[in-house]
A and B are shown apart, each in its own frame.
Chain A
């Protein structure tokens, strides 16, 4: 499954840490998916906060259909000023938080 914002946000650092620590391929995949899902929810939270009620519903209706992703992203650029910068920043924040969590303690 591809997340809608996956191709815009950059979260390689946390994924490299996962690569480094998990030798088993299945477990690595599970952990990467967990990270992607966490970041996806953080980014989606920001996006929903930026949209009015109608646009929220139009986004949610198509978000799980990968064939709709490109057109939804185009519309999000129209609906939210500085859309790409905002979601990149939120994803980076979420990634930094994850790295801090696993390196502290």
Chain B
């Protein structure tokens, strides 16, 4: 012990060291997922930070138009972040829960939607996976292929899991999800089925960053296919996604739209809108 250190100083040192250990432990436990993600992707994230810092630095030289500069910074930040996420998703089979939340937050901002990994306590078995191309579904008894766009996709012989659609757009922009793979499906299907029926979702293709609002219109595909979702002919066409050997992965999130104001169909990035104003 250094000379001149009193017993009270010893008490101070011991107390502060113990307290420091407790504070740091608590911090790392509380923020473990975020810290792990940041560490795992530190190089890519650092790149995103440098890009956004450059955008910020540029804005200081043009203080006369701060509002517009801020919008552009946000757009630049978001775009660099989306590129980061795209490269992340290209290299991953699945996303952990921290990554899922990052993706949901980034896409919410990019498209101006309130996107959720889980909603009302419900979540899909996966939010990221391969998408298979589905056929058209019969919207109601007597429906025929002639009444659908993209007739070359064909029509399934049976109606979807939820039977009649309430509108033409619901069938046009539908996805199939693996309801049967939900851990509580067998026990709670009678309450889960109405909740998932035509539930609004957002589908995002990370390769071209296109997004579309759709509904859950059917159950499937079977797990052995290696696919996680199915997309209607129109959904697949807009997202430019293919099936078979060229199949691609998409992100699928719930749209929190309790007032039912979000229209089904393709949706443009709001970040581009900000940049143009």
Cα separation A90 to B11 with both chains bound (whole Å): 25
**Smallest Cβ distance from A71 to chain B, in angstroms?**
4
Q: Are A58 and B24 in contact (CB under 8 A)?
A: no
B222 contacts A by Cβ under 8 Å: no
Q: Are A53 and B11 in contact (CB under 8 A)?
A: no
Q: Are B34 and A54 in contact (CB under 8 A)?
A: no
Within 8 A of B (CB), among A39-74: 41-42, 44-45, 48, 52-54, 56-58, 60-62, 65, 68, 71-72, 74
**Smallest Cβ distance from B54 to chain A, in angstroms?**
9
A7 contacts B by Cβ under 8 Å: no
Contact with A along B8-52 (1 / 0, CB 8 A): 110111011101100110010011001101100110011011101
Given contacts A24-B2, A24-B4, contact A57 B102 (CB under 8 A): yes
B106 contacts A by Cβ under 8 Å: yes
Cα separation A48 to B31 with both chains bound (whole Å): 8
Closest to A101 in B: B15
Q: Which 3 A-B pairs have the closest CB atoms?
A: A24-B2, A61-B45, A23-B4
Residues of chain A with a CB closer than 8 A to B114's CB: none
Given contacts A61-B38, A102-B15, contact A41 B77 (CB under 8 A): no
**Smallest Cβ distance from B115 to chain A, in angstroms?**
12
Q: Are B42 and A37 in contact (CB under 8 A)?
A: no
9 A-B pairs, CB-CB below 8 angstroms?
Answer: A22-B9, A27-B5, A31-B16, A38-B16, A42-B23, A54-B102, A54-B106, A68-B53, A105-B15
Cα separation A35 to B201 with both chains bound (whole Å): 48
Residues of chain B with a CB closer than 8 A to A41's CB: 23-24, 27
Residues of chain A with a CB closer than 8 A to B6's CB: 21
Which of A34, A61, A78, A105 is the one whose CB lies under 8 Å from B20? A34
Total A residues in contact with B, Cβ cutoff 8 Å: 38
Within 8 A of B (CB), among A5-39: 17-18, 21-24, 26-27, 31, 34-35, 37-38
Residues of chain B with a CB closer than 8 A to A56's CB: 34, 38
**Smallest Cβ distance from B151 to chain A, in angstroms?**
41
Known pairs A45-B30, A48-B34, A72-B53; list 10 more (Cβ under 8 Å).
Answer: A41-B24, A57-B38, A58-B45, A58-B81, A60-B35, A60-B38, A71-B57, A72-B49, A75-B56, A101-B19
B3 contacts A by Cβ under 8 Å: yes
Q: Are B56 and A102 in contact (CB under 8 A)?
A: no
**Smallest Cβ distance from A27 to chain B, in angstroms?**
5
Interface of A is mostly: helix
Cα separation A24 to B13 with both chains bound (whole Å): 13
B101 contacts A by Cβ under 8 Å: yes
Residues of chain A with a CB closer than 8 A to B11's CB: 102, 105
Q: Are B34 and A21 in contact (CB under 8 A)?
A: no
Which of A34, A52, A78 is the one whose CB lies under 8 Å from B17? A34
Given contacts A31-B12, A54-B109, A68-B49, contact A38 B98 (CB under 8 A): no
